[in-house]
């Protein structure tokens, strides 16, 4: 009997919670260094651009890992890859806390990003295989909720732990968390790991997504989503500090406000049933563009905070919507298509801090926000070339 036929309602609820929680803590490792950049600058005598690479190197290796582990999970089994990946992530996260030089920190953060990639693309494919079809949108919505919430929680936890102890303690804390998450994953039902035995066939399938126009457009949009999300939070901290003389605790509270926008993510399935997947995608892009534009031109603190929530609200419905769209377009090749999509998504995340710090150095406080809004405007225009009546599956290729 197939795995998704054996799942009861209680099992489904528990599985969704476990995947949500693991998504939250794993992706927190991507964002946790944003509030620690000043500590890296002071301890290792770095420029702001050098410090930004501590976050970017994680994202680069995470992106590459999404391709590799997305492929290997098809061969080795998705649950197995996720469990052992989190064990490795725990060990590497502890080691990051023992870094005593800038280059050692970069090296270990790169390996940490590689290990973290064993969860995100694999979990999304796992849902498409194990969960009943009528529960997949809900599961993806909650996993996406965890991914987005990590953008706030990762920053909040590392900021709070740093205040209590030092930046190294934040990595020790997450190291323990990943061990617990690995044990939680053991509860999940086993997936069908024997779907493909020939690794060469799996690798050749990587070319298939690029033969579909709508999938290629999806990848272009994916590149801008986390780039703007990570970039906005990188710019916001600097903007609040320089313009309103905020301290770390005050910046911390502004980041908390973003949770209000993220709360929309689990309801993306409901919203899409009312306005359609592409309609919801465009609404989300419009909200995010509006939020960034107003943030770029406003000089009022409360307007800036409210618009940051509006921006996050848009992103919180874009991400799960895009995952569902990509899954539908991928058809029987959902795993490969989703893995490549996740690769582009986190390539954008790796570029976020670099792009934002470069724009901030030009001296115009509004430039990062307005530039990111322009990038999302391009995605909005691209989304107009995607239509629901053009759904099609990527065809299996005989190799």
Specify the pLDDT at position 202. 66
Specify the pLDDT at position 392. 47
Going by pLDDT thresholds of 50, 70 and 90, the confidence category of residue 286 is very high
pLDDT at 34 over 70: yes
pLDDT in tens, 331-388: 777 778 888 888 888 888 778 877 888 888 776 777 889 999 999 999 999 999 887 5
Specify the pLDDT at position 259. 86
Secondary structure of residue 18 in the 3-state scheme: helix
CA distance 263 to 135: 19
The first and second tokens of residue 11, run together, are: 């099992």
Specify the pLDDT at position 197. 55
pLDDT at 265 over 90: no
Specify the pLDDT at position 3. 44
pLDDT in tens, 180-203: 999 999 999 887 654 555 666 666
Going by pLDDT thresholds of 50, 70 and 90, the confidence category of residue 397 is very low
Mean pLDDT of 57-72: 83
Specify the pLDDT at position 290. 96
CA distance 99 to 109: 10
* All structural domains of the chain with their residue ranges: 11-190+209-387
Specify the pLDDT at position 19. 94
CA distance 82 to 120: 9
Going by pLDDT thresholds of 50, 70 and 90, the confidence category of residue 7 is low
pLDDT in tens, 107-139: 999 999 999 999 988 888 888 788 887 788 788
Specify the pLDDT at position 171. 93
Cβ density class 291-319: b for 16+ within 10 Å, e for less: bbbbbbebeeeeebbbbbbbbbbbbbbbb
Going by pLDDT thresholds of 50, 70 and 90, the confidence category of residue 9 is low
Secondary structure of residue 393 in the 3-state scheme: coil
pLDDT at 173 over 70: yes
SS3 per-residue string spanning 258-322: CHHHHCCHHHHHHHHHHHCHHHHHHHHHHHHHHHHHHHHHCCCHHHHHHHHHHHHHHHHHHHHHH
More confident: 49 or 119? 119
Going by pLDDT thresholds of 50, 70 and 90, the confidence category of residue 223 is very high
CA distance 67 to 87: 20
The fold of 11-190+209-387 is Growth Hormone; Chain: A; (1.20.1250)
Q: What is the mean pLDDT of the chain?
A: 84
Nearest by Cα to 333 from 217, 220, 211, 221: 211
pLDDT at 395 over 50: no
């Amino acid at each position: 009997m197939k795995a998704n036929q054996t799942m009861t309602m209680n099992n489904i609820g528990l599985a969704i919670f476990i995947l949500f929680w693991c998504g939250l803590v794993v992706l927190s490792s991507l964002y946790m260094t944003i509030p620690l950049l000043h500590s890296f600058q002071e301890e290792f005598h770095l420029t702001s651009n050098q410090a930004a690479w501590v976050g970017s190197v994680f994202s680069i290796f995470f992106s590459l890992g999404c391709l590799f582990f997305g492929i290997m999970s098809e061969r080795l089994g998705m649950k197995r890859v996720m469990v052992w990946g989190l064990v490795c992530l725990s060990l590497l996260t502890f080691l990051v806390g023992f870094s005593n030089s800038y280059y050692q920190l970069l090296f270990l953060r790169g390996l940490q990003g590689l290990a973290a990639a064993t969860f995100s693309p694999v979990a999304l494919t796992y849902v498409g295989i194990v969960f009943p079809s009528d529960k997949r949108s809900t599961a993806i919505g909650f996993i996406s909720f965890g991914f987005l919430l990590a953008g706030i929680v990762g920053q909040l936890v590392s900021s709070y732990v740093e205040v209590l102890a030092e930046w190294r303690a934040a990595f020790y804390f997450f190291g323990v968390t990943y061990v617990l998450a690995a044990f939680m994953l053991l509860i999940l039902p086993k997936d069908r790991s024997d779907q493909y035995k020939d690794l060469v066939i799996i690798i050749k399938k990587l070319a298939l997504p690029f033969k579909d126009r709508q999938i290629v457009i999806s990848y272009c949009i994916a590149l801008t989503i986390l780039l703007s999300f990570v970039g906005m939070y990188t710019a916001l901290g600097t903007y609040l500090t320089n313009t309103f003389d905020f301290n770390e605790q005050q910046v911390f509270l502004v980041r908390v406000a973003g949770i209000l926008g993220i709360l929309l993510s689990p309801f993306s399935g409901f919203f899409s049933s009312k306005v359609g997947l592409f309609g919801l995608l465009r609404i989300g892009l419009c909200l995010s563009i509006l939020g960034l534009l107003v943030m770029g031109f406003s000089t009022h603190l409360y307007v800036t905070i409210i618009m940051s929530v509006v921006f996050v609200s848009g992103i919180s419905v874009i991400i799960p919507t895009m995952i569902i769209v990509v899954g539908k377009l991928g058809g029987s090749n959902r795993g490969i298509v989703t893995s490549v999509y996740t690769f582009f998504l986190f390539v954008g995340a790796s570029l976020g801090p670099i792009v934002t710090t470069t724009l901030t150095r030009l001296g115009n406080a509004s430039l990062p926000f307005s530039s990111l809004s322009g990038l999302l405007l391009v995605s909005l225009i691209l989304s107009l070339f995607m239509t629901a009546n053009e759904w099609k599956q990527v065809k299996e290729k005989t190799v």
